[in-house]
């Protein structure tokens, strides 16, 4: 054979071989090595250099530090054998930016321990969440579970079961939410805690629990949620005891000097509430119809004789759609509030009926930076009757309240530092509200938070302008377990 032929073969072999043992190549995990039909592992791919766990003789990879204590993962499984316990301890404290004469010394100053228990039995699950609170600001520490007053706030106490394949039932104290708005609600007529929202508690406290029976039915045609609340669960509304507001009876901003007295519908099975939602997904679009029968959730009228605030009868119905549009998520929600005690709008002391509308859009602007925008409309029915009923000299509300909201969320430091800004602005009322929050997760348990609530308005009597004496800043320290 020609010398050059031999040399070429040699060269080819060498090149091919050197490619096989390329220094950049990762070593074979040992389980894969055994899958190889080739008997010989080439140089550099020897057993000792293989990552562990890929060898059939050693299937268990070494645990990294911090995970090597297997017991650590056993307490929180869903085995159904024991109560699972979660919760947190939190200190939260705030200051008024400019204290009003009739205000408590601080917006909040409290220690809170939340215990969340859950146990699974065959066929049903029991859940109890209780907050134990030392509230330095509260005037009254006796417990009133429905009003959320006192040293105990029972957030949940319910059982969940499925009596049939197509049915889920949740019975007891529970938090309820539906609808498409972001911090703006139309067809979600479940109880809200506006005090918690305005004075700087965590946003999850905006939702107050309801005592309810929720039955959910699932079918290909559509799904149906039916909710019955045997006794009216009002909002934890602004009453002056903590946040000051515009008192329409007195015609000025009031606080602790004139805490709202209410005549609250309170008869079990008589003053009840009923909610329903019929919903269906068509592709990526979520469609829903809503209905509600009950009462205005925050005071929506006043008794001319006693001056007590009232929760007039309310029937509401509406619809929503949500789904992808352009590069984001768009939503539209509409509702009609039928104020049954003042259908023709003559009664100045009872809210008129209203149309409400939300148009929203949210999009990721950049990695970990999201912008959400909403337009919100409240439009009074029978505006002419309202104007005619209005005594001379009393300032009239606009027929339409237009509001815009913007939410900016920015996650930094591996999503451990969360910047959040939410702004409400109404061009028709010339008022606004800015919610700012900064949260840092120090580790898996400990987080710190700082934020503020700022209000402004040309007039004292507009929806957001009435809160202009409640500007506050707060900090919180939370340990989760």
Opening angle at CA 397, ends 391 and 402, nearest 5? 170
- Provide the token pair at 362: 């949210």
Q: What are phi and psi of 56, to 5 degrees?
A: -60, -25
Candidate ranges 79-87, 104-112, 388-396, 458-466; the one touching other proteins (CB under 8 A): 79-87
Distance CA 375, CA 181 (A): 10
Out of 39, 57, 71, 79, the only residue in the binding site for other proteins (CB under 8 A) is: 79
Burial class (CB in 10 A: 0-12, 13-18, 19+), 123: exposed
Which one, 117 or 259, has the nearer CB to other proteins?
A: 117
Candidate ranges 51-59, 256-264, 420-428, 459-467; the one touching other proteins (CB under 8 A): 51-59
CB atoms under 10 Å from CB of 397, counted, come to: 19
Instruction: Confirm or reject binding of residue 447 to other proteins (CB under 8 A).
Output: yes
Instruction: Confirm or reject binding of residue 367 to other proteins (CB under 8 A).
Output: yes
Out of 78, 164, 221, 392, the only residue in the binding site for other proteins (CB under 8 A) is: 78
Out of 304, 306, 395, 416, the only residue in the binding site for other proteins (CB under 8 A) is: 416
Instruction: Confirm or reject binding of residue 163 to other proteins (CB under 8 A).
Output: no
- Provide the token pair at 476: 């919180």
Which one, 114 or 149, has the nearer CB to other proteins?
A: 114
Q: What are phi and psi of 369, to 5 degrees?
A: -125, 115
Out of 35, 71, 164, 282, the only residue in the binding site for other proteins (CB under 8 A) is: 35
Torsion of Cα atoms, 193 then 197 then 201 then 203, to 10°: 90
Greatest C-alpha distance within the chain:
121
Out of 14, 46, 77, 136, the only residue in the binding site for other proteins (CB under 8 A) is: 77
Beta strand segments in 230-368, E: 245-247, 252-254, 262-263, 273-282, 285-295, 301-302, 309-310, 313-325, 328-339, 354-366
DSSP code per residue over 220-259: SS-EEEEEEESS----B---SSSS-EEETTTTEEESGGGP
Out of 32, 49, 394, 396, the only residue in the binding site for other proteins (CB under 8 A) is: 32
Instruction: Confirm or reject binding of residue 207 to other proteins (CB under 8 A).
Output: yes
Which one, 134 or 166, has the nearer CB to other proteins?
A: 166
Instruction: Confirm or reject binding of residue 61 to other proteins (CB under 8 A).
Output: yes
Report DSSP state, residue 445: S
Site for other proteins in 332-361 (CB under 8 A): none
How many residues sit close enough to other proteins to count as binding (CB under 8 A)? 91
CB of 396 to other proteins, least distance (A): 36
Instruction: Confirm or reject binding of residue 192 to other proteins (CB under 8 A).
Output: no
Site for other proteins in 296-325 (CB under 8 A): 322, 324
Instruction: Confirm or reject binding of residue 12 to other proteins (CB under 8 A).
Output: yes
Instruction: Confirm or reject binding of residue 164 to other proteins (CB under 8 A).
Output: no
Site for other proteins in 85-104 (CB under 8 A): 86-88
DSSP code per residue over 1-39: --HHHHHHHHHHHHHHHHHHT-TTSPPPPHHHHTT---S
Binding mask 370-399 for other proteins (x = CB under 8 A): x-x---------------------------
């Amino acid at each position: 054979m020609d010398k050059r032929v031999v040399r070429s073969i040699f060269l080819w072999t060498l090149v091919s071989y050197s490619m096989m043992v390329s220094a950049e190549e990762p070593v074979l995990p040992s389980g894969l090595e055994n899958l190889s039909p080739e008997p010989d592992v080439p140089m550099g791919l020897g057993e000792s250099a293989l990552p562990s766990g890929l060898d059939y003789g050693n299937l268990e990879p070494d645990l990294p530090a911090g995970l090597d204590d297997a017991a650590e993962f056993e307490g929180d499984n869903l085995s159904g054998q024991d109560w699972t316990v979660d919760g947190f301890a939190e200190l939260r404290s705030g200051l008024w930016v400019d204290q009003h004469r009739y205000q408590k010394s601080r917006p909040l100053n409290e220690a809170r321990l939340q215990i969340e228990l859950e146990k699974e039995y065959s066929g049903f699950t029991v859940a109890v969440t209780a907050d134990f609170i030392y509230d330095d600001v509260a005037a009254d520490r006796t417990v009133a579970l429905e009003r959320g007053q006192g040293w105990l706030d029972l957030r949940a106490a319910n059982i969940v079961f499925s009596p049939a394949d197509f049915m889920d039932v949740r019975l007891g104290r529970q938090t309820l939410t539906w609808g498409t708005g972001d911090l703006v609600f139309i067809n979600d007529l479940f109880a809200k805690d506006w005090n918690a929202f305005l004075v700087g508690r965590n946003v999850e406290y905006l939702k107050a629990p309801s005592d309810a029976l929720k039955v959910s039915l699932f079918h290909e045609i559509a799904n149906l949620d039916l909710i019955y609340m045997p006794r009216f669960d009002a909002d934890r509304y602004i009453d002056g005891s903590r946040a000051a507001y515009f008192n329409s009876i007195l015609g000025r901003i009031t606080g602790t000097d004139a805490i709202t007295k209410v005549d609250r519908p309170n008869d079990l099975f008589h003053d009840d509430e009923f909610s329903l939602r019929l919903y269906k997904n068509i592709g990526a679009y979520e469609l829903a119809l809503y209905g509600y029968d009950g009462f205005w959730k925050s005071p929506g009228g006043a008794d001319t004789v006693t001056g007590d605030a009232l929760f007039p009868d309310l029937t509401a119905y509406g619809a929503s759609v949500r789904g992808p549009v352009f590069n984001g998520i768009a939503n539209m929600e509409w509702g009609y509030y039928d104020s049954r005690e003042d259908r023709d709008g003559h009664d100045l002391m009872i809210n008129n009926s209203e149309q409400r509308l939300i148009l929203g859009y949210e999009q990721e602007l950049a990695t970990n930076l999201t912008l959400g925008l909403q337009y919100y409309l409240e439009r009074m029915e029978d505006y002419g009757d309202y104007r005619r009923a209005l005594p001379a000299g009393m300032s009239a509300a606009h027929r339409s309240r237009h509001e815009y909201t913007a939410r900016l969320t920015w996650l930094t430091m591996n999503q451990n530092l969360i910047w959040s800004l939410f702004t409400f602005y109404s061009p028709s009322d010339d008022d606004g509200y800015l919610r700012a929050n900064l949260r840092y997760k120090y580790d898996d348990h400990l987080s710190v938070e700082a934020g503020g609530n700022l209000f402004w308005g040309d007039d004292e009597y507009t929806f957001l302008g009435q809160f202009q004496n409640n500007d506050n800043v707060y900090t919180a320290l939370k340990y989760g377990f």
